[in-house]
Structure 1
Amino acid sequence: MANMKNLPDQPIRIALFVPQDCSMLSLGVISEPFLLANQLLGAQKYQLILISNAGDSPLMVDTSVYQREQFELQHEYDLLIISAETAPQQPIAINTKKNLQRYYRQYTGDILTLKGGLYWLLDSGIGVDQSWVVHWSFMDDLKDRYPDVTLSHDLYHQNGRLHSCAGQLASLDYLLNYINTQEEETVVNQITDYLCLDRLRSGSERQRLPSYSFAGEDIQPRLTMAIDLMEKNIEKPLSSDEIAEQIYISRRQLERLFKRHMNTMPARHYLQIRLKRAQHLLQTSNMSIVQIGLSCGFSSGPHFSSSYKSFYQSTPREERAKSVANRYTEHNK
C-alpha cells in the first residue's frame, strides 16, 4: 500500500463528460486506473463524476463507480475529460458550448479531450490557436473543419491546462502518467503490473505506424519507409522511382520487396492506400466528391470514379449515399 502522506484532505475530482456514444472499452480504460489507485491507496482519493446533459446520459453507468452531476459545470474539477467515439452527429448545442466556455474562463482545472472529444472544445472556440493530438481517423475531417488548428500524430499532448489524447489504449498511457504525477512511483508500478503493461509510453511516441512491418527481416526498414512515404504523400503521389530514390534503393529492388512480402507492386499498393483514404473521407467528411478525388491524388473525376469502382465495386457517389443513409438511420434509432 502506498504511503498515506499522498492522501489529500479533499479527493481529486475526475469528471467525465460523454456527449454521445462511448464504447465500453473507452469507459473501462478511463475508470480502471483510478479505481486501482484507490484500491492500492486504501482510500477514495480519486472521485469519478459522470457529467450528464439535461438530466440524461447515453451511458448506463454503475453509480458505485461514478457519481452523477448535471452539465452545468458550476464546480471545478481537477481533471475534466471530454470523450466521444465519433465526430458530433448533430450540431453541438449552444448551451453546451456556453457551459464549456464559462468553465474554461472561470476555473483552472485541466481539460482533457479523448478521441473525438476535441470537436466539442474547438467548436466552442477553445484552443483554436493551439496544437492538439487527435485519433488519426479524425485528422482529415478536423483539418477540413478547422484549417488553422495544428494537429499531431503523437499519443497525447499537454499544453498548459488543455490536454489531448488519441483515445482508446493511448488514454491508458495518459492517465497512468497523470496518476504518476500525483503518487509515488511504486503505486503506478503496481498498477502497470496488474494491467500486464511492460512500460508506459510517452506522449511524444507516434500514434500510428505504417501499415506493415516485418520484424526480424533486414529489408523491413526499407519497406516500412516506402509505405510511410506513400501514406504521407496522398494528394501528390510520388512515382516508384522517387520512392526508391528517397529510401536509397533501386526501383527494381523496391518492386522485389513489395512482390516478396506483399504479393503486389508498389504502384498497386499506393493506389489502395489512396482509395482507402478516399473511402474514409466519403464516409466521414463534408468534402465534395471532386475535392476528395483531388485530395487523394486523382487528376480527374472519371479517373477517381473508375478506380474507386474497380476496387470497391461501387462508385464514390454510391458510397457517399450509403454513408449518409447509415448516419440518418443511426441518428433516428
Structure 2
Amino acid sequence: MADKSQATVEIVVFIPEQCSPLDLSSVVEPFELTNKQLGYEKYQLRYASQKQGQLSISSYLTLSVDYTFNDEFDCDVLIILNQYKPSAPLPQSVKKRLQDLYQQKNIEIFAGYAGVFWLAESGLLAKGTSALHWSMMDEFNDAFSQLDISVNLYESLNRITTCSGRVAMLDCMINWLETQESRELVHALSEQLCMDRIRPANERQNIPSNHLGGDLQPRLTMSIERMESNIEEPLSMDEIADSVNISRRQLERLFKRYLNCMPAKYYFQLRLKKARQLLLNTNKSIIQIGLCCGFSSGPHFSSAYKTFYGLTPREERTALFNVKE
C-alpha cells in the first residue's frame, strides 16, 4: 500500500481563453499515468482561467475551473496553455500575478504553444531564448522583436520552460518527470504511451522549409533544401551561398535573423539529426551511419553526437535496446 502521507506536487494548469485538446492531454496524461504507477495522487492537477465556471476546450470537452487567476492559490508548478495569442493586452493584474508567482512563490513555470505570449507580455522572458511553435514565430517576432526565438522543441532556463506545444508538450512533461522520478518509472511511462524515445529539448522542430523566412525569403528555403539534399557529402557555406546567388555574409544574416544560428551550425545539426534517425530506426552500423551523414572519422562523429545529444551513438543505441527490453 502506498504511503498517502508522502508529499504531493500541486500543479495548476492556466488556460486563459482556450487551448487545444492535444496540448491539454499532452500535459494531463503523463501525470495521471505516473500517479497510477506510484499508487497515489502525487501530482495533483487543478485548473485556472480568467473566469469561474465551465471552460470549453472543444465541442466535446469542457473543464470545471477551480480558480480564477485572481484567486489566491498555492502551487509548485504552473503550466500555461492557450490556442491563440492574447486577444487583448494583458491586464496589469494578470502580469503582476505571473510575476509574483515566479519571483515570490519560487515555482516552476511551463508555457506551451501560444501560452508563451503570456510570459513574454509579463516580462518573464527577458533573458535566454524561448521555444515557440514554428507557425507563430513571425507573429511573436513582430510583437517581441527584442526576444530571441528558438526552433528547438522546448527551452528551459531559471525555472521557466517554453515549449512549441502539441506533441512536443508530451516530451517536455516526461523530460521534467525524469528529474522527479526514477528512470524505471519514466521508462514504464514511455512504454504506456507507446513512445520509442523521449525527444530532448535541443531537438529541432520539423519546420516546413517553405515556411522558414516566409515567401519573402525563398533563398533561405533554397539553402536549407541544398543542405538536406547533401547530407552524405556536405557542401561548404560558400558553395551553398553561390548556389542560391547570394554572398556568404548574406546567407549568414538570413540564418541569424530567421533561425537564430549560423548556417554552418544549422547544417551540422541537420546531419546529426539524420544520424539519430538512422541510429534509432535502422540496423546500419555506427560507422556506416557516420559516413552516411558526412562524418569521415568515427571518433569525430561520436564526439559531435555526444556533445549535441549527451550520449555517444553506442550509448544511445544501447539505451534504446534496454528500454525495449
> Unpaired segments of 5 or more residues in structure 1?
212-226, 255-276, 278-333
Q: Partner residue of 2:146? A: 148
Mapped partners of 2:74, 2:5: distance in 1: 16
Relative to 1, partners in 2 of residues 1:73 and 1:175: Cα closer, same or farther, differing over 3 Å?
A: farther
Q: Please tell me whether residue 13 in structure 1 is matched to residue 10 in structure 2.
A: yes
Q: 1:236 to 1:182 in 2, by over 3 A?
A: closer
- 1:48-77, CA deviations, whole angstroms, 9 ceiling, x for partnerless residues? 0101323245336777xx771231363332
Amino acid of the residue matched to residue 140 of structure 2? L
**Paired letter, 2:212:** E
Segments of 5+ residues of structure 2 without an aligned counterpart are: 227-234, 245-257, 259-325
SS of the equivalent of 1:174 reads helix
Number of matched residues? 232
Q: Which amino acid aligns with 1:16?
A: V
Letter in 2 for 1:41: L
Whole-Å Cα distance in 2 between the matches of residues 119 and 241 of structure 1? 30
Name the CA shift for 1:105/1:151 in 2 (closer, same or farther; >3 Å): same
Q: Who is 2:123 aligned against?
A: 125
Aligned to 1:105: 103
Amino acid at match of 1:97: K
**Structure 1 partner of 2:186:** 188
Q: List structure 1 segments (4+ residues) > 4 angstroms apart after TM superposition.
A: 60-63, 232-237, 239-249
Change (3 A) 1:236 1:38: closer
Please tell me whether residue 89 in structure 1 is matched to residue 81 in structure 2: no
Question: How far apart, CA to CA, are the structure 2 residues paired with 1:92 and 1:159?
Answer: 23
What secondary structure, in the 3-state scheme, does the structure 2 residue paired with 1:44 have? coil
CA shift at 1:104, angstroms? Answer: 2.1
Q: Secondary structure of the equivalent of 2:67?
A: strand
Secondary structure at the counterpart of residue 66 of structure 2: strand
- Give the TM-score, by structure 2 length: 0.62
Structure 2 Cα separation of the partners of residues 118 and 111 of structure 1: 10
1:23 is matched with: 20
Alignment map for 1:304-319 (pairs within 5 Å): none
Q: Deviations over 1:249-271 (max 9, x none)?
A: 9x99x9xxxxxxxxxxxxxxxxx
Q: CA–CA distance in 1 between the matches of 2:47 and 2:78?
A: 10
Shift of 1:80: 0.3
Match of 1:174 in 2: 172
Q: Which runs of structure 2 are paired with 1:296-311 in the superposition (5 Å)?
A: none
| Residue 136 to residue 241, structure 1, CA distance change in 2 (3 Å) | closer
Change over 3 Å in CA distance of 1:247–1:49 after alignment to 2? farther
Q: Distance in 1 between matches of 2:172 and 2:186?
A: 12
- Select the residue among 22, 36, 59 that pairs with 1:39: 36
CA contact (8 A) 1:12 1:47 kept: yes
Equivalents in 2 of 1:247, 1:210: separation in Å? Answer: 24
Q: Secondary structure at the residue paired with 2:161?
A: strand
